[in-house]
Structures are given as structure tokens and as C-alpha cells.
Structure 1
Amino acid sequence: MKRKLKYTFRHTVKFLPFSLGFSTLLLLLYHIPFYKFVFNNIDYISFNGTAVIISLIVLMLLANFMAVSIILFILRAVGKYVLALLLIVNSIAIYFITTYSVIIDESMMGNVLNTDFEESGSFFSFKLVVYIVMLGILPGILIIRMDVQRISLKKFLLTCGVALLLIMCLVFANASNWLWIDKNSKTLGGLAMPWSYSVNTSLYYIHQSQKNKKEILLPDATIKDKKKSVMVLVIGESARSQNFSLYGYAKNTNPYLAATPNVFHFNATSCATYTTAGVKCILEHTSSDELYEILPNYLYRNKVEVIWRTTNWGEPPVHIKNYLKKADLMQYCSGQQCEYDEILLAGLKEQILASKKDKILVVLHTSTSHGPTYSKKYPSRYETFKPVCNSVELGNCSKEELVNAYDNTIVYTDYILYKVIENLRQLKEYDSAMIFVSDHGESLGEKNLYMHGMPMGIAPREQYEIPFVVWYSDNSRHLKANKTVSQNYVFHSVLKFLNIESPVYNEDMNIFKE
């Protein structure tokens, strides 16, 4: 009788060599951006610089060695699968770091954890699959196929104790370099695997739990007259002011607004470089880590008609009756434009006219300029500038292709704002106005950075210099001679235009004259 032979790769390894080998694997495969940053920001030729680099290498090895040892000892056989999962997550993280030059800090993890499926799907590419397979799945399979011998509790504690002692010695030996390390700690922490996403995910949830579970209510407001007034607040996505021809950009990206009377613009900056914080800042009366009652909730509670229409995400909790997402708006829309941000205008004029209230706030939360798929954010007839970048791997596109695709999103935004104004012009019974302000800006390859989300302390101006565009109807309020404003001006300016009196109103942060 023939005996069937079955070969399976199985290799038994000792506990400590496995932990050290795994930490070495982490260092070699996933820390090139980390050490590239260190080499670019320190005098590595000097003795002190060389000492810092060697110390960081040893420190990373020891820290990962301790973490791997703890996972294996506590979770036993399951620990291998946890480590394999870490490799897959590492591969995804390193893809985004190398492709988009992001820093995986707490705010970036907030973006990741709050994103929707449509937006996350736009990042899919063949290169991402290659990263996951080569740097995640294959080494993960190798790890799973190994049998790691157990060690005694005494040996485990002794090993971790020695590693911790060595870490402390390294820390104190680099006391003279603490200032440099502290200055660059966010970047270093955001590039270290797996600490960047694991620690910052924990910090994100800890800080979220510490925030107010319920927003802090503002003092009651009073509507001062019965004059019909409507304000449309358009919240832009990833729009940077330097690509608006209204702000002096050489390419004509604002043909409609430039030809529209009563259109004005202010220099403005965002409070943050990511959506959730930027939108929160637009809707609150002051910049704060607290969750104060936001503008739509405040006005709705005080008997103002509030309509929210969105193709985006990331706003604080909105407590109003008329909250409409893209799927809700499809019933009012037909045609190709329904796949884009024009859907926000479908039936809008009719919804305003149907209101029985004198004061109306409409919020349109757009998604037009969000990358990396800029060329898919507008209908083909708005592809004014060519050629365009069609890849999600922005570094593979030429500068011209990337900027052209982004500029076309601004051309489309210009058209949408023009259509908002045209709708408001037809409301003859109302004093009307529109404010367009972006949540943050966008990097388009400057300093080898793409998109947004850099910490404000090191973010380039492209990620926080934003457009703040205003239109008002004839015979309504005119504007002050402000040159520079912030996102918080929106709250107070809306109150002023609708003639709503509130104890939190700040005249210095209002753009409208008496």
C-alpha cells in the first residue's frame, strides 16, 4: 500500500529569537519613512547625530521586542494571528505614508475612523494590493506557520525587565537631544509602526470619551423681526484659496463668480487640516475643544427653519428635522448631474418656498474637491483644463495633470455657487445671502505632500489657507471692510444677517454692516 506523503512548512522557533526577529522585520520593512525623516532633519554626520540615529534604531527594536513578547506570552497561540494582522495593517499604513506623505497622528486616525465607504473606496489601487500582499499577507503567512516555544513567567519578566532597563538607559543617555525629539515627536510617533496607528487610535477614543457626550447648549436667542431672510452656507471640501482666480490665480477657475455682481471674498484660514475639526469650527461660535451647540442646532431650537443637505460626512451631530443625504435627494433629481454635487440643489428653491417661517438657514455640505480621485468629482463638461490625473497614486501623475484635475473641481464648485446664487435671486420676497467657506485646504505635491491632514504645527499653507466667498442680494445687508476672517466668523455673520439676537453674538466676528 502506497503511503501518501504530505509536506507542510512548519518550523519551531524559540520565544526570544522569534520576538527579536519579528521586531527586526518591523524595523526593516516599515520604517524607511521614519528614518528618512530623521536623516533629513538631523546632522547625521556629526557624532551627536550619529548617536541619535543609533539610539532610535535600538529603541525601536527594544520597544517592538517588548510589545511582541507581551502579545505572544499573554495570547499564546492566538498571538501569532494578532502579529500577522499587525503586518497587514502596517502594510496599509506604510502605503499611505509613502504614497501621500501623510503622518498617522491622532487627527489622521480620527479621519480614518470617521470616513465613509465611498470615500475610502476611492483610494483603492493596484499598488495598494501589492503593498498588502507583499508587506502584509506573505510575511503574515510565514509568521502563522511558525510554532513559537513558550517560556516561563520568570524568564518573561526578566526579559521584559532587561529591555525596559535598556530603554530607560537610552532615554537618559539622549537627555541632550530631548528638545529635538520633543519638537519632532508628533512626526516621529506618526511614522513608527505599529505605534502610530495603535497608540493614536487609543488616544482618539480616550479623548472622544472625555468630550461632552451632549453638546453644551448656548443661551436662548431671539428673532428680532419678521422680515423674510434666507442664508445659504456652502461648506466646501478641500478647497484652497490659491487655486481660485478670485484670489489672483492665473488660470480662470471662477468664470461665473467673477461675472456675478455682489460677490466678495476674504482671506481666511481654517482651524484644522481635516474635515471633522474644520466643519466643527465653521459651525461653532468659538474655537474650542468643547462641543458647544452648533449653528444649525442652535437656530433650529430657536424657531429658525434649518435645512441640511450633504454629499459628505464628518460634521458634529446635527439635531434638525430636514437633514437630507445624497440618497434622500435622489427623489428630486434626474440626469447625470445627480451623481455629483449639483444634487444638493435639486428641489432646493421649492423647499425654501414651502417653509412657513421667516428665517431660513440652508447648509450645503459638498465633497467636490476631495482627493485622490479629483477627476471623478465633476461632470465631463467641466473638464476645462487638460490633461488630467486619473490615478489615485498622485505621485505617479505629472504636476500639470494633478493640478489640472484639481482646478477642474474648482471650476465645478464655481458653477455650483453660481447656481445657488441664481436660485436665491429668484426668491424676490427674501433678503438672501450665500457664504462659501472650505473645511480646509489641500496639498498638490508641494514639498512632496498630497491631500491634507498634516498637524497644524507643521502643515503647509496650502492645507489651511481657504476661500471665504460671500454673495448678498440687492437691498440686503452690505459687508464690512474686513480683509481677513476665520471660520468662526460664519456663526456670528449668519446671526447678524438673519437678525437674531444672542448673548454669544460677537460683533467683531461679523462680516455684515448694520
Structure 2
Amino acid sequence: MLKNNLKITHFALIMSCLNFLFFHFPFFSFVFDNVDYKSFGGIILIISLIVLMLVLNAFVFYLLFSLSRRVGKFLLILFFIINAIAVYFVNTYGVIIDETMIGNVLNTKYEEASSFFSIRLVAEIILFGVIPSVYIFKAKITKVPLKKFLITVSLTLLFILTLVFANASNWLWIDKNSKTLGGLAMPWSYTVNISLFYKHQFSKNQKEILLPNATIKDNQKSVVVLVIGESARSQNFSLYGYKKNTNPLLSKMPDVYHFEANSCATYTTAGVKCILEHANTDDLYEILPNYLYRNNVEVIWRTSNWGEPPVHIKNYQKREEILPKCEGDECNYDEALLKGLNEQILASKKNKILIVLHTSTSHGPTYSKKYPPQFENFKPVCNSVELGKCSQTELINAYDNTIVYTDYILSKVIEDLKQLKEYKSAMIFVSDHGESLGEKNLYMHGIPISIAPKEQYEIPFIVWMSEGSKQLKPNTTVSQNHVFHSVLNFLNIQSTIYNEEMNIFK
């Protein structure tokens, strides 16, 4: 076939068929799971979607190669390779390549991305990406006369419109499931959503909206340590009734309380933004650390993670900046964020201090590498990045061990704060979002919040206060936005933006 010249029409159809066979099993698995495929209407919908998928992709490929065969080949090769990667993650982790997932991908650092590497990933890239790309590169394609091009385009558009209007009765179902269908259609899931992501990024406020000035109302030395968890779901904390003892230390500590809470989103950037802002909005308002720093509060940010909104403070420290002063095996894990923290607090010349510790303890898929060996309380554990290959028991054991390690870190923060006798102190732990561990065949996080399972948005919200500092309101349920107003209350900072209803303290 390579030796003969191929008509663009034939080549576009061949490429569309290969694209359909290689990359659309997840798409049609979703369709079969959500329509009555035994009914006449269901059969018509499925046949129409198959035909529409083949014709639409062939039509776009035809346009690309008619305009420029070189550009067409380059884009098609790129599509096949990226499709192979995307479908691997869809099949392995149950993700949907929507705009929020694109945001996750574009905010992923090399360290996190490399943890997903597997032999199967490489094999699928070669089989479904590289090998078809060789064929595409070597294919000899003939030009199309302008008249024939215009006739083909016109007839194809007419056919597509006829098919779309013939399925008018199914528009409601398609609209209802449009985000999922769009997130599984290759290559349009990522091409369209990358465009949407950058469009929305560009339209956001280029400069954060400043909040009204605040006033510090007393000279009492006070410190709040805000620990932002990563991918921690409340149902695996024994404090929330989990049958396995994942909180052996916190459960024995006095003055430790927990609230029911849901995250604003199922991915880090939006979850962290929600924790740090005064209200859940799409605008870029001044976040808590920036606001307090601007109003003469000592703010220290230590992180082993990423994805936060822009932080404008003096003491912003990444984990690698702390490591030179850290000794011991624990420095390879999130415990490194605690090294020298009390000394830094005591060295401050200000009476009001906010510490933010942005951890990465429960981030998958390499759960078993997120904690020191002595915290492997539950065995056997999953050591593979291909989570679907592990048993449910192995996967949950590895994840539960990250919660045990989180329990240790939080207890250590509390013990350190107890040493600061001159300070009224509080520790608030809240996760950015939850995590799926194979339930409904989903893994990790990132499903749109409107359709996400509870595992991805039910999060822990844990509070400790030093003796005689504050008491809690009898709230049972809170939100991530409660953090902003509760910190202002604890540090006794007055502001017109303050909302008493969003404060957890009496």
C-alpha cells in the first residue's frame, strides 16, 4: 500500500478507522454503560455515534491533508502518539481528559510525571503511536483537485448535519454526558480542552484582586500551622470511623477535633486555591498568606508539592531548600518540612505567625514510596504504578500507610507547638481533595466535581488548639473556605472581609 499513491479520501478514512479501533474503546464503553443498547433508540444512538466518530475524524484529517500534506503528517503523528499516552491513562486510572485534567497535566512537575512510568506505557506508545506514525510518515498521498475537494467537503458536511438532526431525540442525553464524551474522544479531548484551558487562563485576572486592609487587634503571641494535605480522603481516617487504625497518635491526643468537609474541586490547583481564599470564586482574589503578609503577619510557606496560586511572601521554601539543613532518613519524606520550624518561629520578631505546610504524602500512584519503611503498618502493599494490576487490598494498604504517616506528621506538629509556651497555637489540617482507589474502576482524582464519586471530594478537616487558647463552635460540617476566616479569628485580625459564619472558633 505504501508503494502506491493513496487518494487523500482513502488515506483519511484509513487513519480514521485506525484512530477509532486503537483509541475509542473507553468512549464506547461509557456509551454502552449509560444507554439501553437493547432498545431501538439505544441501537440507533450507538450506530450514529460510531458513524459520526468515523466520518468526523476522517473529515478533519481530510481537511488537514488537503491544506498541507506535511503539516497533516506532522499533526497526525503527534495525535497518534499523544492518543496512545492519553488512552493508557484513561484505561489505567479511569481519568477523563477534560479541561481540569489538562490543568493537572500542565501543572505536573517532572518528579510527579516520572512516577507514572511503566513498561506497559512504553509498549502502548510504540504499538499504537510509533508504529502507525511510521506508516503515516512513509505514506504517499496524491493531491486533490479543488473542484473535487469542494464537492467532498460539501457532501460530508451535509451528511454530518443530516445525521446530527436525525438524532435530535438523543441531544438531551448527549448534552447531559457531553463533558465525559468530550473527554474520551481522541484526539479532540486534549486538543479542544488545551485550547479551553489557555483561553480561561488568559481571561482570568492577571493581577490578584486585593482585599480590604486588616488590623491586628492585640499583641498576644499566636501561631497557626495550616497543613494542606494531598489526596487525603476522610473515609480512610480512623478519626472518621474507619475500621483500620490509621490514626494511632491523633486518636490519643486531647484537644484534637474533626469536621465533616467536602472539597471545592477534585484537583490540586483548585482545591488549594479554595483552602486559601475567602470565598469559592473563579476570580483571583488575594489569598490568605499574601493577605496576612501584606498586613504585617509573619508568614512561612514550606512545600513538597505544587499547584498553589501565586504566593507573594518572603519566606517561601521548597523542600529542596530545606534539605541541606536536614539530616536523617526522614528527610526523604514530608517530615523534612518540620525541620527547624520551631526555631524559625522563635526567631520571628512578630507576634502573629502563619505557617503553611503543603505536603504530598498521599499522592499516587506511588503510594508505597510516600512514607518511611517503619510506617508500613498494613501489608501487602501495591508497588506498581499500574494501579489496576494491584489487588484492592494491596492498593488500599499502601494508601492507608500514607494516612498513618500523615497522622505521625500532624502529631509531631502538635508536639512541636506544645513547646512554644508563650504562644497560643493551633494546627489545622485540610486536604485539597480526596482519592479514588479502584471504586467504580476509578483511580486517583480529577473527575469533574459535578460527577465525581464521594471518594474524590469527602476530605478530612482536623483541628488542634493549645490549652486555654480557643474553643470550637458546635459545627459538624465545614468547607475549605472556613480556613481563611478561622485563621483570622484565631490570630485576632480584624477585617471587613471577615465572615463570622465561616469561622470554626467561638
Shift of residue 10, structure 1, vs aligned partner = 4.4
Q: Which amino acid aligns with 2:486?
A: S
Q: Which amino acid aligns with 1:293?
A: E
Question: Any conservation in 1 of the 2:97–2:183 contact (CA below 8 Å)?
Answer: yes
Q: Which amino acid aligns with 2:177?
A: N
In structure 2, the partner of 1:422 is 415
Q: Does residue 486 of structure 2 align to residue 486 of structure 1?
A: no
Which of 475, 491, 494 does residue 501 from structure 1 map onto?
A: 494
Distance 2:252 2:502 in 1: 28
Q: Does residue 69 of structure 2 align to residue 82 of structure 1?
A: no
Distance 2:4 2:192 in 1: 32
Q: Deviations over 1:438-490 (max 9, x none)?
A: 00000011111110000111110000000000000011011111000000000
Distance 2:2 2:164 in 1: 41
Structure 2 counterparts to residues 2-401 of structure 1, below 5 A: 10-401=3-394
Shift of residue 81, structure 1, vs aligned partner = 2.2
Shift of residue 343, structure 1, vs aligned partner = 0.7
> Match of 1:77, SS?
helix
Shift of residue 155, structure 1, vs aligned partner = 2.5
Distance 1:195 1:161 in 2: 22
Q: Which amino acid aligns with 2:458?
A: E
Distance 1:75 1:61 in 2: 21
Distance 1:109 1:302 in 2: 35
Question: Any conservation in 2 of the 1:11–1:145 contact (CA below 8 Å)?
Answer: no
Q: Does residue 399 of structure 2 align to residue 409 of structure 1?
A: no
Distance 1:411 1:443 in 2: 18
> Match of 1:265, SS?
strand
> Match of 2:249, SS?
helix
Distance 1:108 1:340 in 2: 26
Distance 1:251 1:386 in 2: 12
Q: Deviations over 1:395-428 (max 9, x none)?
A: 1101110000000000000000011111111111
How many aligned positions are there?
Answer: 506
> Match of 1:255, SS?
coil
Question: Any conservation in 2 of the 1:216–1:292 contact (CA below 8 Å)?
Answer: yes
Question: Any conservation in 1 of the 2:264–2:270 contact (CA below 8 Å)?
Answer: yes
Distance 1:153 1:263 in 2: 75
Which of 449, 455, 459 does residue 442 from structure 2 map onto?
A: 449
Q: Which amino acid aligns with 1:212?
A: N
List structure 1 runs of 4+ shifted beyond 3 angstroms: 8-11
> Match of 2:284, SS?
coil
Question: Any conservation in 1 of the 2:472–2:504 contact (CA below 8 Å)?
Answer: yes
Distance 1:11 1:341 in 2: 60
Q: Which amino acid aligns with 2:466?
A: S
Shift of residue 331, structure 1, vs aligned partner = 2.1
> Match of 1:97, SS?
helix
Question: Any conservation in 1 of the 2:2–2:140 contact (CA below 8 Å)?
Answer: no
Question: Any conservation in 1 of the 2:265–2:449 contact (CA below 8 Å)?
Answer: yes
In structure 2, the partner of 1:468 is 461
Of 253-262 and 69-78, deviating more is 69-78
Shift of residue 9, structure 1, vs aligned partner = 6.1
Question: Any conservation in 1 of the 2:377–2:401 contact (CA below 8 Å)?
Answer: yes
Q: Which amino acid aligns with 2:117?
A: F
Distance 1:145 1:238 in 2: 45
Q: Deviations over 1:231-288 (max 9, x none)?
A: 0000000000000000000000001101111100000000000000000000000011
Distance 1:397 1:49 in 2: 35
Question: Any conservation in 1 of the 2:485–2:503 contact (CA below 8 Å)?
Answer: yes
Of 16-25 and 65-74, deviating more is 65-74
Shift of residue 44, structure 1, vs aligned partner = 0.9
Shift of residue 115, structure 1, vs aligned partner = 0.6
Q: Deviations over 1:194-235 (max 9, x none)?
A: 010110111000011011011111111111111100000000
Q: Which amino acid aligns with 2:314?
A: K
Stretches of structure 2 that go unaligned for 5 or more consecutive residues are none
Shift of residue 165, structure 1, vs aligned partner = 1.8
Distance 2:230 2:149 in 1: 51
Shift of residue 31, structure 1, vs aligned partner = 0.3
> Match of 1:293, SS?
coil
Output the TM-score relative to the length of structure 1: 0.97
Q: Which amino acid aligns with 2:429?
A: F
In structure 2, the partner of 1:4 is none
**Identical aligned residues as a percent:** 68
Q: Deviations over 1:5-38 (max 9, x none)?
A: xxx9644211110011111111111001111111
Question: Any conservation in 2 of the 1:276–1:314 contact (CA below 8 Å)?
Answer: yes
Distance 2:249 2:266 in 1: 28
Distance 1:161 1:121 in 2: 46
Q: Deviations over 1:79-125 (max 9, x none)?
A: 21221111000000000000011111100000001111100111000
Distance 2:464 2:319 in 1: 25
Shift of residue 168, structure 1, vs aligned partner = 1.3
Distance 2:337 2:153 in 1: 58
Distance 1:181 1:9 in 2: 39
